[in-house]
Structure 1
Amino acid sequence: MVEKYNIRTDLALEEKERFESDQVEVQGVVLEEEYDKEREIRVTTVRIETENGAKTMGKPVGTYLTIEAPNLSSPDEGIHREVSEELAKYLIEVMEKIIPESEHDKEVLVIGLGNRQATPDALGPYVTDNLNVTRHIVKEYGKYAAPEEMNCVVSAIVPGVMAQTGMETAEIIKGVVRETKPDLLIVIDALAARNSRRLNRTIQIADTGINPGSGVGNYRNAITKETIGVPVIAIGVPTVVDAVTIVSDTMENLLSALETSESLKGVGLVLGGYSEAEKYELIKELIAPNLNSMFMTPKDIDETVKRLSYTISEGLNLAFSGQSFE
């Protein structure tokens, strides 16, 4: 049954949690966790170190860092500033690992993936709106004309989606990379989560690139170092969950209620004996075919995505400024 169990998520952390819940140890995958109790920020690093681990997890070899902050969905500016600084700190670490030191300033191309017209998918385009782009200034007037604190030459593009352009996103990016020759790509995209509690409260940073649309079943050409020819860092926030997840969470609440009901306790015992994988497959069969292709998003997604996009763009701007966050 576990082999059939295909969890719909873009978060490496949730893939690892799935195996842990089924008491399956994944060889070649290491998990590390830090928790700042005062700020309520949890940082989890999943390192996939072997090809066997990559095959089991369904994700490429690399490092996946997840920043979780339950208060991230609130409008509190102080919390968002703290998350921006946390994002910048880890982004600087990743950049230093994958870009060798050079005499010239790092040239970074930020790519806002997604559809600006569909709010849950508009995170990438919104992030680029608030970036401090400097490439045009440096090209025109030299690096001393750019803001002093910036130690990266930054450019940005929103390539749209295939329905708008008729082209694969990867095709557009290849053309831009060929002409502008950046040292690094940073790709921003909305993700899908398995756990509804992580919606709009989680940021994932991966040094492996990205497969646009994979979280909602729209598989497009990968944007990775192998396909583009330039190192790729992917940053994403889960903004949607699929219908199966909603029903699954409801089922867990039902099981808890059944435990306190004398007349229905037998039903609860039967369902409670199912593994996570078996419950997921049962729910998929029960709601198919009308609902299992649906994705859900919170009703306040418009304001939430705008706030999150600003949080991420501030984190990027801080990282590009080369500030220290010790």
Structure 2
Amino acid sequence: MPIYTDIAAELWQKTKGTVPPGVEFETCYVADVTITRVQILRDGLARKKGAYSTVDMPNFAYIDDHNRHYIDAIAHELKNFLPDEGDILVVGLGNASITADALGPEVCDKVLVTRHIPVEEDERAFLKLRGVSTFCPGIEGKTGLPAAATVRALVKDTQPAAVLCIDSLFTGDPARLGCTVQLTDTGLCPGGDEAKRLDQETLGVPVICMGVPTVMDAAEVCSCNHSLVVTPKEIDYIIRRAANVLGLSINRALQQNLSVAELTFLTS
């Protein structure tokens, strides 16, 4: 049985076989960061048609989470997915009570929220701030409401230009645990349920998804016949520092007139 992964770049690696027609790869290197861009140009493949960008870097547990090199690398990729203008709604998916699944809520805590600043008083215009709001829908087992329903209602009411979803991801490669950021414009399915998919078709606005792989199938690393998932022993550090890096990257991509130092001050 094949190992499941959310990472598109793992499905068709040029060193492991033939890339099928309709899939294009582009790889570039910036110091210790590797950026792999995958374009899926047709339907019927293992992933939805669309763009996927993977940023591979040193493990989040051991890096300086205010390092501008890493922040700018992710922010640059994110800007390629975002519309140039309009408010952005950042949605933090996941369970804040489970460390490996808490990335979304943790990142939302680091995002600079500006939508509430009165435009009529020219405060946002003076600072050239883009309108940003955040929302964490929680898990259906606690709220009784699927994330797709609450986010859809919020989008209808607030009319953002795009939705940016943050979530923990699944990988089939232990080397990518806590070391990779994937961005895509294809949406996602919380819990793997297609009926609860968050994408442009269901929300009516572009949906960009960003995540870090924090769990994988135990069968990939040991002889195990049980349905188990594993997570790194440094998961607490990974989530904490990844949240800082992703939060600053989002802020950097959206508030381009502010420096990393200014963004750190405003969100600390």
Q: TM-score, normalization: structure 1?
A: 0.74
| d(CA) in 1 for partners of 2:24, 2:257 | 29
- Aligned pair 1:182/2:174, yes or no? no
| d(CA) in 2 for partners of 1:12, 1:143 | 45
- Aligned pair 1:300/2:234, yes or no? yes
| d(CA) in 2 for partners of 1:124, 1:33 | 27
Partners of 2:12 and 2:19 within 8 A in 1: no
| d(CA) in 2 for partners of 1:26, 1:143 | 54
Q: 2:32 aligns with which of 30, 35, 40?
A: 40
Q: 1:50 aligns with which of 22, 42, 48?
A: 42
- Aligned pair 1:205/2:180, yes or no? no
Aligned in 2, Cα 1:109/1:77: closer, same or farther, shift over 3 Å?
closer
Q: 1:152 aligns with which of 130, 133, 151?
A: 130
Residue type of the partner of 1:47? Q
- Aligned pair 1:7/2:29, yes or no? no
3-state SS, counterpart of residue 132 of structure 2: strand
Aligned in 2, Cα 1:150/1:201: closer, same or farther, shift over 3 Å?
farther
1:224-303 to 2 correspondence within 5 Å?
224-247=199-222, 287-288=224-225, 291=226, 293-303=227-237
| d(CA) in 1 for partners of 2:235, 2:113 | 27
3-state SS, counterpart of residue 30 of structure 1: strand
Aligned in 2, Cα 1:49/1:113: closer, same or farther, shift over 3 Å?
same
| d(CA) in 1 for partners of 2:15, 2:65 | 35
Residue type of the partner of 1:172? T
Q: TM-score, normalization: structure 2?
A: 0.90
| Residue 71 of structure 1: how far off its partner (Å) | 4.3
Partner residue in 2 for 1:258: none
Residue type of the partner of 1:117? S
Partners of 1:213 and 1:220 within 8 A in 2: no
Q: 1:318 aligns with which of 240, 248, 252?
A: 252
Partners of 1:149 and 1:322 within 8 A in 2: no
Aligned in 2, Cα 1:86/1:143: closer, same or farther, shift over 3 Å?
farther
3-state SS, counterpart of residue 60 of structure 2: helix
| d(CA) in 2 for partners of 1:84, 1:47 | 23
Q: Which runs of 5+ in 1 are unaligned?
A: 248-282
- Aligned pair 1:27/2:15, yes or no? no
- Aligned pair 1:132/2:124, yes or no? no
Deviation by residue 1:96-141 (Cα, 9 ceiling, x = unmatched): xxx3x6xxx5110000000000000000000010111011113xx5
Q: 1:65 aligns with which of 42, 49, 53?
A: 53
Residue type of the partner of 1:16? W
Higher helix proportion:
1
| Residue 219 of structure 1: how far off its partner (Å) | 6.0
Residue type of the partner of 1:35? Y
Aligned in 2, Cα 1:72/1:301: closer, same or farther, shift over 3 Å?
closer
3-state SS, counterpart of residue 241 of structure 1: strand
| d(CA) in 1 for partners of 2:157, 2:210 | 24
3-state SS, counterpart of residue 47 of structure 1: strand
Seq. identity, %: 33
- Aligned pair 1:163/2:134, yes or no? no
Aligned in 2, Cα 1:147/1:158: closer, same or farther, shift over 3 Å?
farther
Larger Rg: 1
Aligned in 2, Cα 1:86/1:148: closer, same or farther, shift over 3 Å?
farther
| d(CA) in 2 for partners of 1:73, 1:213 | 26
CA RMSD of aligned residues (A): 2.1
Deviation by residue 1:196-217 (Cα, 9 ceiling, x = unmatched): 1100100001011111233xxx
| d(CA) in 1 for partners of 2:121, 2:189 | 34
| d(CA) in 2 for partners of 1:296, 1:148 | 48
Aligned in 2, Cα 1:90/1:75: closer, same or farther, shift over 3 Å?
closer
Q: 1:76 aligns with which of 32, 56, 64?
A: 64
| d(CA) in 1 for partners of 2:191, 2:24 | 26
| Residue 324 of structure 1: how far off its partner (Å) | 10
Deviation by residue 1:229-260 (Cα, 9 ceiling, x = unmatched): 1100000100011111112xxxxxxxxxxxxx
Q: Which runs of 5+ in 2 are unaligned?
A: 260-268
